[in-house]
A and B are shown apart, each in its own frame.
Chain A
Amino acid sequence: MLAPALELRHIDKSYHAVEALNDASISIAPGSIHGVIGENGAGKSSLMQIAYGLIQPDSGEIFVDGAKVELLSPLQAIEHGIGMLHQKASWLEQLSVFDNIMLAEPVTGFLFQQKEKAMAKLELLRREFGFEFSLSVKMSQLDYSQRQLVDVLRSLYRGVRVLILDEPLALLAPSQADYLNNLLVLLKIQGISVVVVSHKLAVLHQLCDVITVIRTGRVIGCIDPHSVSLREMSKQMVGREINLPHPRVEPSKNKGKVLLDIKGLRVHGAKTGRKSTTKLLLRDINLSVHAGEMIALVGLPESGQDVLLDVLAGMVRFDGGAIDFLQYAIRPKSRYKINKARDYGIAYAPNPNFNIGLVDQLTMAESVYLGYQKQDFGRWGLLSGRQRHQTCHQLMMEWNVVPALPAMQTGLFSGGNQQKMVLAREFSHQPSLLLLNQPTHGVDVGAIETIYQRLFELREQGSSILFCSTDLDEVMSLADRICLFSHGELTEIFNAEDTDRTRLALSVIKEAHDV
């Protein structure tokens, strides 16, 4: 039998007396697709960061192809053929794909010679793996999922043999499903192992050869997805029974009055370069939202659904049309900002990928006030530290945030726990209209169940909810109506009862090829 491509043995790791990993071992076979699942804060990310040399374990050993190695930095990991896709990779927008890939490469010999060789090699790889973008196109012209593929290409160029994908949201989007499948097969044929960390259990269940389950820092076991059901898999992960897909709760029949009325909404894009033509980000959007209604906005990335949320939240100005919310008339000329939105009772949980809902360097007790500092601080703008601490701790207990330490720096919490805090904050202010962008991104199935429960409760109280999600299962479990966006237009509105997941997925993809 071949030695495992990458093996981590008996890894321990603690942060500030909080145990992240306890005697965790994982073994990645060559040319396999290996899933890693676990709840938020279970230690998945820590384990992957150790494998990529980003952090060092307190104790334990790492083997590459059966030989013991020490990974003190990502550079050393790369030398051993380990690559990782970055969640928040930053690219130089104005440079080409080729230049972005070459930036990090060491210069050997004459630059032009090296460039020629690299170009040939990259072009070969690009064709072999079927990447659709050209190497000379500017980074700014690629969408989010294509950027992740550029990252994959870079890893391939560096001769990666174990590729770690930590919650590759864009790649796991339904529109990319076939593509990702093909890519993984191609990688496998080349003998490249892929490690996928994700909360999208259904996707992993389909894709992976083997899945490692981590619970509270310990490896619970390895699952063969061909012989274990999805339901059993999620039970192993959370340690209790979870209904998958999450069950729908039908809304009470009596539809409330119209809460939000959008008429002819139009948003111009920023002027692009020298050309004075502006793209329309949103074109003639008409939508009425009743009280007690939950509406999903779906579509391919950058079809305008995010912009609509931003406009309603007062983050982006609109150029035409009218929004009527409760008794308030919002027009392009009215100075509608996010503070106003909060005063009106509109709460917004932004896309967790953009990292704006919390401030990493503040303590969590402080981050929890972001946006509500006007309401929550006392009359003179003062607030005692103890009170702040208590409020935060209470929210942490309610939402099961671990570790429940309000004084800990926000950035040290795992992504899923940060998202729980954002939701906790927005829910705690009892909004009449709740806007959510990828509400459960990075959140584990157990927590998703609670979040859905709370969303249904909020809807029952007569609040309306608008959310964007790339997870069609989520859309089907939550939404009463589904709005399909394409190129800045609202092309179709489905009633949830009249459609199913497959039809919806087909509609989303069809829009992409229509234009």
Chain B
Amino acid sequence: MSKAIPWWFNSLLLPLANVGLAFVACAIVLWLMGIDVLFATHVMIDGALGSGEGVGYTLYYATNFIFAGLAVALAWQAGLFNIGAEGQALIGGLGISIVCLYWVPLPMILLFPLTILVSALFGALWAFIPGWLNAYRGSHIVITTIMFNLIASSLIVYLLVGPLKESGQMAAVSTTFPQQTWLPSIENMASYFGVTLQSSPLNISFIWALLCCLGTYFYLWHTRVGFETRVVGLNLQGAKFAGIAQRRIIIITMLLSGALAGFIGLNEVQGSSHQLQVEFVSGYGFTGIAIALMGRNHPLGILIASLLFGALYQGGAELAFNIDSVGNDVIILIQALVVLFCGALELMLKPSLINLFRFNSPKTEAGNA
């Protein structure tokens, strides 16, 4: 006899099976490259989770992914494909740098909210223009946000070889911020409570990222504007009937999405490198698309996907460090396979798994998913 599909099938079993399949594919590629797969797995797991330092790095990378994933997912809930998180993050980082370089002597308890605000404002500003163009002029959001990525990176290059460049330096980086503006690391915070942790760039912005997950969830599912956002994303005619101002929702959503992307600067610029670098975003914004896809545009899913990607990033870095024939490309390959199997081929295993467990297969569900 067949039975209805239980809740854990779509939200647990299927994603796990997909990730598992991706890892199998990775193992085959590594084996073809002549790498000892077992050893490589050991290096990756140990590197990402085996030590306090490894876990610190994993969470540090995950912080960026959470911000980027939330930014993409929030826009997606309104039916907008924001692929400009990259540029919005750059501009957010610029805002933070301006505050930190020309800082007014403020205690951290005031400075941190200020930089949160400023990075949000700068990121939102960068998302506002594509949002406005989409709402009032019908420009395609994908095209405009891509263009704004390019403009943002050119702008940063200009500033870093010009006005913001540290004098007497060859590299295109800004002056290092005064130490008082550095975000407290988790290591320091723990030692304040008498707990000793190994050193890593993990800092307080990770906690802010967790709060953002919570906030995004609350916003989307428990507020009126969030409700309106989802209606716009699901059924435009329904939104019109409900009297929802679609243009207003598009702009609000893009502002919030940009603000979330802007927070990447908190972790990278103010939390870790303590200076503005040309390529500090280095693809986090784009990886956010994959994170949102894997996390099914839900904050909890995004948190889990971010942790997985954080571990992959850190484990991959260890792999490249330990095995000579493995370069950075292999890390990108592994991520690409995860995205391929969890995103593009998300439903590939579904029919066979349904058969395996002898569940009912309602056609409508397969169509909606």
Contacts and interface: CB of A to CB of B under 8 A. Distances in A.
A385 B222 contact: yes
Interface string A408-440: 000110000000000000000000000000000
A510 interface: no
A314 B223 CA distance: 25
Contact of A381 (B4, B225, B244, B364): B225
Contact of A356 (B2, B224, B235): B235
Contacts of B2: 58
A16 B4 contact: yes
A499 interface: no
Given A356-B240, A358-B238, A359-B231, A377 B224 contact: yes
Interface string B334-366: 000000000000000000000000001111100
A196 to B, nearest CB: 24
Interface stretch (A200-208, A258-266, A336-344, A464-472): A336-344
A351 to B, nearest CB: 11
B231 A362 contact: yes
Interface in B231-274: 231, 234-235, 237-238, 240-244
A359 B360 contact: no
Interface residues of A, number: 41
Interface of B: 1-2, 4, 221-225, 227-228, 230-231, 234-235, 237-238, 240-244, 360-364, 368
Contact of B238 (A56, A339, A356, A383): A356
Contact of B237 (A14, A337, A356, A371): A356
A342 B244 CA distance: 12
Nearest to A385: B222
A55 B4 CA distance: 13
A16 B1 CA distance: 15
A355 B240 CA distance: 12
A373 interface: yes
Given A15-B362, A366-B227, 20 more contacts: A14-B4, A15-B4, A16-B4, A17-B4, A58-B360, A315-B241, A348-B241, A355-B238, A356-B238, A358-B238, A359-B234, A362-B231, A370-B242, A373-B224, A374-B224, A374-B243, A382-B222, A382-B224, A385-B221, A411-B368
A382 B242 CA distance: 18
Contacts of A356: 235, 237-238, 240-241
B224 A370 contact: no
15 contacts: A315-B240, A338-B242, A338-B243, A350-B241, A357-B238, A358-B238, A360-B235, A361-B368, A362-B230, A370-B242, A371-B243, A374-B243, A382-B223, A385-B221, A411-B368
A55 B237 contact: no
Contacts of A315: 240-241
Contacts of A110: none
A313 B225 CA distance: 23
Contacts of A337: 243
Contacts of A355: 235, 237-238
